[in-house]
């Protein structure tokens, strides 16, 4: 059982986490939700389309202008409070690696801390434990935040992913983060080349076998773009194909830009796997 915020999810229940970037320079939407009203409209649309989690980020993952902890908090804390007020039942996640930002957003009502940089600030897990919120434990290959990979190598990329993410998850549980609220993430593109990310996808079942719920953040990433030789705005089909494979292999939470399309993919895979009944079943029965 996965428990986040006020919600509980069964083992075979796929969960959509919708991305809402509070940044002026995000790689995909180019700052479309930097201002409050467009961002709140995005939350409303995502919830209506089937997102259970809203993931709010105040710093883009890639290199760019410096964003201090104070500025990151300014972009996220008040917005978290407003989303909590308007959407009391939605699960609010905040994408941050900084403990001081994590503490501020938890005070404002966040339910999950999404640590995409692999525990670079070990105090973030302590914050999650203190507030009793969920934690995403990600493999980032030891990279510093907001850096790109350069000729990175692994003897066995999945072995390293398992060592790091399971280690972070067990540490978090030992600190007091509820075990049922901890997820592990292979960290596609994070200190990985395209072949690493493809292998991580192909071997995702090994993560599922650990018993920790698996989150994948695939949406329009560079490994999709390089695999198909497509620019950022033309990666949706590749993303959805990777989503379907990840769902078949047992991933549970999907961090996405396209909520409605992802919902259809996940529902279709769940029905093929026998975990969901068709919405309508008339053919050959009339």
pLDDT in tens, 141-183: 999 999 999 999 999 999 999 999 999 999 999 999 999 999 9
Cα 250 from Cα 246, distance rounded (Å): 6
Dist. CA 243–CA 15, nearest whole Å: 12
Q: For the residues 218-234, what does the mean pLDDT come to?
A: 97
- Across-strand partners of 137? 115, 184
> SS3 for 236?
helix
DSSP three-state, residue 218: coil
Q: How confident is the model at residue 28 (pLDDT cuts 50, 70, 90)?
A: confident
Q: Is 35 buried (19+), middle (13-18) or exposed (0-12) by CB count in 10 A?
A: exposed
Q: DSSP secondary-structure letter at 144?
A: P
Confidence of residue 33 (pLDDT cuts 50, 70, 90): confident
Mean pLDDT for all residues in the chain: 96
Q: What pLDDT score does 174 carry?
A: 98
d(CA 136, CA 112): 8
- pTM of this prediction? 0.96
Average pLDDT score over residue span 258-268: 98
Provide the pairing of β-strand 253-256 with 15-21.
parallel
Strand locations in 50-151, DSSP E? 53-57, 91-95, 112-115, 134-138
Residues 6+ apart with CB under 8 A from 251: 14, 204, 207, 208, 214, 215, 216
Q: Mean pLDDT throughout 10-23?
A: 96
């Amino acid at each position: 059982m996965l428990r986040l915020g006020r919600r509980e999810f069964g083992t075979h229940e796929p969960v959509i986490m919708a991305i809402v970037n509070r940044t002026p320079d995000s790689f995909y939407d180019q700052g479309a939700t930097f201002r409050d009203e467009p961002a709140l409209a995005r939350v409303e649309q995502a919830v209506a389309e089937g997102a259970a989690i809203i993931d709010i980020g105040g710093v883009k993952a890639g290199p760019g202008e410096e964003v201090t902890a104070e500025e990151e908090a300014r972009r996220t804390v008040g917005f978290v409070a407003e989303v909590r007020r308007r959407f009391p039942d939605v699960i609010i996640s905040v994408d941050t690696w900084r403990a001081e930002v994590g503490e501020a957003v938890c005070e404002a009502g966040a339910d999950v801390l999404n640590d995409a940089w692999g525990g670079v600030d070990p105090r973030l897990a302590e914050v999650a434990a203190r507030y009793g919120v969920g934690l995403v434990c990600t493999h980032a290959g030891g990279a510093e935040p907001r850096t790109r990979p350069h000729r990175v190598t692994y003897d066995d990329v999945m072995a390293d992913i398992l060592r790091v993410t399971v280690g972070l998850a067990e540490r978090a549980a030992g600190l007091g983060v509820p075990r049922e609220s901890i997820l592990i993430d292979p960290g596609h593109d994070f200190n990985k080349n395209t072949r690493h990310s493809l292998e991580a996808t192909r071997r995702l079942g090994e993560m599922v076998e650990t018993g920790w719920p698996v989150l994948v953040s695939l949406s329009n990433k560079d490994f999709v773009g390089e695999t198909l030789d497509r620019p950022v705005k033309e990666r949706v089909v590749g993303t959805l194909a990777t989503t379907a494979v990840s769902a078949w292999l047992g991933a549970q939470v999907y961090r996405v830009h396209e909520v409605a399309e992802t919902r259809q993919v996940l529902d279709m895979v769940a029905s093929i796997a026998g975990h969901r009944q068709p919405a309508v079943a008339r053919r050959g029965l009339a």
